Amino acid sequence: MTLSSTPDARFRGCFTAIVTPFTAGGEGIDLERLGEQIGFQAAGGVTGVVLAGTTGESPTLSDREWHTLVEHGVRLAHALGILAVAGTGSNSTAHAVELQRQAAKLGADAALSVSPYYNKPVQEGQYVHFMTQADAAALPVILYNIPGRTGVALTPETVWRLSRHPNVRAIKEATGSLDSAGEICARCPGLALLSGDDSLTLPMASVGGVGCVSVVSNVLPGAVSGLCSAFLGGDWAGALRMHRELLGFARAMFVETNPIPVKAAMKLLGRDAGALRLPMTGATPATVELVGKALQGVVHLMQATGDGAARKTAGASARG
């Protein structure tokens, strides 16, 4: 098998880990709001959206809800010319395989699969888990490495072994380790590395990253897309300026467990993404205050990138 020496060009830039808009009380999915959110992202210039990812509270979705969310999200994203990635991760390999097959049938452009959580499989267990999922359907897989949530990390050695599968095309790296990211980029030149930490998007780009899967871009798609476009275009000075302008807001988005702060920020902006589902609870008053101050600090970015204007037209774009 001949492996590519360059990452797949589709998996570059900003992918938004989109929140799931629930109806009152978290009882269902608000598909109208989903359309508005995807329209907002498309207007902001993102490469794509991740549907039913962990930022989208995927562990609380029933299989029927997952299907509805992905089916509608794929259709909406494609109508607006952006990619749609489906979250297919599970701590059950059989369940992950089934989600992988369903995502392919629903027309997703790729699947984002998080490492099995709680089980804490050894490296061989993770390797077989992801290889089994990659074998299940002809759909690109984006590995998701986030030991802070799953309790176990994919090592660069295991990532290298997985990258030899033709369906494993990218990795969302959220270890917080530039050593890990740099080694993965060096050992797997054909694998697209996407930062899974908003505050590390530019640092990871410096060691070979080609974009991000972002929480911040739920609010600032134009700014985060602009950051990625800057470093991908070789404008490192411009990227550094944007990184510094985004840093305070990025940190504010994680003062409580994600997606609590980002849903609070969207509500403050008049883009209420609905309730959180238990065991997730709403932001505390202190967090709401902190998020409000962080938003004040990026008003100029909203104006400069069009993110504020995009908010006014996103719903019409999505429905049109």
Catalytic site residues? 144, 172
| CA distance linking residue 197 with residue 215, whole number of Å | 8
DSSP 220-247: -HHHHHHHHHHHHTT-HHHHHHHHHHHH
3-state SS class at 261: helix
Q: Go through the chain and tell me how many residues it has.
A: 320
DSSP letter at 62 equals -
- Report residue 237 as tokens: 């000075």
Please check whether residue 153 is in contact with residue 176, taking contact to mean a CB–CB distance below 8 angstroms: no
> Cα separation of 197 and 175, whole Å?
8
Q: Which residues contact 149 (CB under 8 A, 6 or more apart)?
A: 54, 114, 117
* Residue at 74: amino acid letter: V
Distance from CA of residue 190 to its chain's centroid? Answer: 20
Q: Which of 84, 61, 59 is nearest to 150 (CA)?
A: 59
In 74-112, which positions are buried (b, 16+ CB within 10 angstroms) versus exposed (e)? bebbeebebbbbbbbbbbebeebbbbbbbbbebebbbbb
